[in-house]
């Protein structure tokens, strides 16, 4: 059933879709020496103890991305995985500073990603949006410079986000940057409440004007916050396999996705960095279906939420929700 339902993905770092095979291919193409001997060697290194231990390896891996073609190939490979998983709409993050800080032009990155997304819409019928994330371990000034640098390409982006090391880098640090981004007509989202406290979720909403919270699983520590998120239907883009791999929950069976869903929170299921966490979006759905004994109705609600939490037009949303309803009915008839 999970495969049969058309779905949207809303929390996906394009750099986190770099599979070891492509990493080797790009390293060879760009004459880059990798600190790994083989693809198996790379996969063995993907043992994480927390967010930071992942980020160190993830930023190093991104070093093989050099040319517009590299960013195109990376994005295209992800879109083919979307097609396999019946993802019909995706809103992807990219981290410009990871690339500009090592001398790659902003234009190189965005052009490669954007042209692959355009091709994806034409050839695969997958609609998409781009969200530019600021690295929160870097300064607010650096984020502001990145925002200014990106202005010629704002028409290709739906919004800005905030990622990287959470604890010690509260949302308030980026208040002015997000205010400016919103002034430019961009929407705001932010990673909050992944490893950081529920207070960071409040901060993302109040200081940054975030319309959607990435992760947000720590919200249950604060009942007033849960009430607010339910009342305002603020979407949470939850990433179960990521949370398991980065030890936000020790076991997937302990994950609070079902509990949040049953409280009426607008939770969605996403893959975050699938090449690093061992699964794309359908793998995430299947993992929680099994670990949390989700019913077919609960799975369908999560998928419905993915469209309702997205930044698509009302017209597209209506069409996708209709497709979903038809697919769900068809599945139930064949049961
Ligand atoms: O899950 C994440 N959290 C913070 N930063 C990130 N960068 C990629 N994935 C993540
Ligand atoms: Zn993320």
Percent of the chain with pLDDT over 90: 99
Ligand 2 centroid – CA 161 distance (Å): 10
Ligand 1 centroid – CA 68 distance (Å): 23
**H or E element at residue 146:** helix 140-149
pLDDT, residue 20, reads: 96
pLDDT, residue 335, reads: 77
pLDDT, residue 153, reads: 98
Span 189-202, pLDDT tens digits: 999 999 999 999 99
191 is in an annotated binding site: yes
Spatial separation of the C-alpha atoms in residues 165 and 51, rounded to whole Å:
7
Q: How confident is the model at residue 4 (pLDDT cuts 50, 70, 90)?
A: very high
How confident is the model over 313-318, as a mean pLDDT?
98
* Ligand 1 atom nearest to CA at 95: 7
End-to-end CA distance of the chain: 10
Q: What ipTM describes this predicted complex? A: 0.96
How confident is the model over 208-237, as a mean pLDDT?
98
Whole-number mean pLDDT of the chain?
Answer: 97
Q: Which fold has domain 7-334?
A: TIM Barrel (3.20.20)
With a cut of 90, say whether residue 334 has pLDDT above it.
no
How confident is the model over 206-229, as a mean pLDDT?
98
Q: Assess whether the C-beta atom of 163 lies below 6 angstroms from ligand 1.
A: yes
pLDDT, residue 225, reads: 98
Ligand 1 centroid – CA 30 distance (Å): 26
Spatial separation of the C-alpha atoms in residues 218 and 249, rounded to whole Å:
11
Spatial separation of the C-alpha atoms in residues 304 and 180, rounded to whole Å:
32
With a cut of 80, say whether residue 157 has pLDDT above it.
yes
With a cut of 80, say whether residue 66 has pLDDT above it.
yes
What's the Cα-to-Cα distance from 202 to each of 23, 49, 160, 199, rounded to whole Å?
A: 38, 26, 18, 5
For residue 47, give the 3-state DSSP assignment: coil
Residues noted as catalytic:
194
* Ligand 1, pocket-test mutation among 46, 51, 131, 284, most atoms within 8 A of CB: 51
pLDDT, residue 112, reads: 98
For residue 91, give the 3-state DSSP assignment: strand
How confident is the model over 284-307, as a mean pLDDT?
98
- The residue extents of the domains of the chain are 7-334
Please state the three-class secondary structure of 159-211 as a single string.
EEEEECCCCCCCHHHHHHHHHHHHHCCCEEEEEECCCCCHHHHHHHHHCCCCC
How confident is the model over 141-157, as a mean pLDDT?
98
For residue 90, give the 3-state DSSP assignment: strand
């Amino acid at each position: 059933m999970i495969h049969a339902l058309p779905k949207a993905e809303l929390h996906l770092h394009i750099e986190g879709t770099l599979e070891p095979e492509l990493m080797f291919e790009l390293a060879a193409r760009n004459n880059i020496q990798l600190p790994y001997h083989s693809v198996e060697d790379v996969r063995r290194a993907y043992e994480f103890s927390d967010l930071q231990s992942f980020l160190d390896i993830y930023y190093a891996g991104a070093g093989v991305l050099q040319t517009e073609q590299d960013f195109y190939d990376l994005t295209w490979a992800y879109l083919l995985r979307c097609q396999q998983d019946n993802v019909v709409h995706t809103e992807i993050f990219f981290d410009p500073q990871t690339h500009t800080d090592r001398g790659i032009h902003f234009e190189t990155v965005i052009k490669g990603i954007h042209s692959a997304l355009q091709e994806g819409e034409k050839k695969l019928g997958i609609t998409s949006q781009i969200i530019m994330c600021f690295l929160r371990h870097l300064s607010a000034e650096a984020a502001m410079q990145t925002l200014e640098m990106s202005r010629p390409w704002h028409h290709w982006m739906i919004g800005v986000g905030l990622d990287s090391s959470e604890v010690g880098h509260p949302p308030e640090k980026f208040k002015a940057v997000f205010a400016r981004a919103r002034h430019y007509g961009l929407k705001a989202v932010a990673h909050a409440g992944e490893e950081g406290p529920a207070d960071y979720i409040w901060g993302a909403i109040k200081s940054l004007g975030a319309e959607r919270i990435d992760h947000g699983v720590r919200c249950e520590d604060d009942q007033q916050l849960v009430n607010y998120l339910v009342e305002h239907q603020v979407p949470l883009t939850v990433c179960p396999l990521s949370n398991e791999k980065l030890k936000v929950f020790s076991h997937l069976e302990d994950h609070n996705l079902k509990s949040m869903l049953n409280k009426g929170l607008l939770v969605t299921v996403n893959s975050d960095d699938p090449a690093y966490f061992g699964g794309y979006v359908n793998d995430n759905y299947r993992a929680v279906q099994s670990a949390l004994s989700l019913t077919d109705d609960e799975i369908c609600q999560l998928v419905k939420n993915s469209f309702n939490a997205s930044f698509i037009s009302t017209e597209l949303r209506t069409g996708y929700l209709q497709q979903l309803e038809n697919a769900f009915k068809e599945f139930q008839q064949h049961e």
